[in-house]
Amino acid sequence: MTSPLLTRRTVMRGALAAGAFPSAARGQAGRDPANQELTNVKIRITFNDLSMTATLYDNPSARDLTTTLPLQLKIEDYGGNEKIVRLPRKLTEDGSGPFGNERPGDLCYFKPWGNLALFYDDYRWDGLIRLGRFDGGIEPLFVRGEYPVRIERI
């Protein structure tokens, strides 16, 4: 049987820790895939003499992506609403879940195949982890074809 004093003591420790480390308390709320917070981590994606930047969300998969950078891969069209980049290894799937507020300009990770999905049109698909949002326009994604692509942290 748990002592009421121990339970109160545990609650007090948790409250004190939340006060001392407010970012840790916010981190708990940030685990909801539909309500993630953007970080100050930015990446650049360059292909066909075009360049785009994206700001990453605070989630384990986005952090894992940054550990693989820089990358020299290939970007290609897929499905009429996205470009994809096949990564050299799968990213962690910790903290994933449905987010339900999909929109063009999302940078996602497709868990089943282990690739990046760069959306330029409406989409809805299970198995995605949103990694970030593109800054500014998404016009380079409308260019058709396969190209060498460089992805780097800036």
Q: Tens-digit pLDDT profile for the chain (154 aa)?
A: 544 444 544 434 444 334 433 333 333 334 555 567 889 999 999 999 999 999 999 999 999 999 999 999 999 999 999 999 999 999 999 867 777 778 999 999 999 999 999 999 999 878 899 999 999 889 999 999 999 999 999 9
Q: Quick check: pTM over 0.85?
A: no
Helices (H), the chain: 4-20, 22-29, 60-67
Tokens of 15: 């409250």
Structural domains present in the chain: 1-30 (no CATH), 33-153 (2.40.100.20)
Contact 76, 84 (CB under 8 A): yes
Which DSSP symbol is given to 141? G
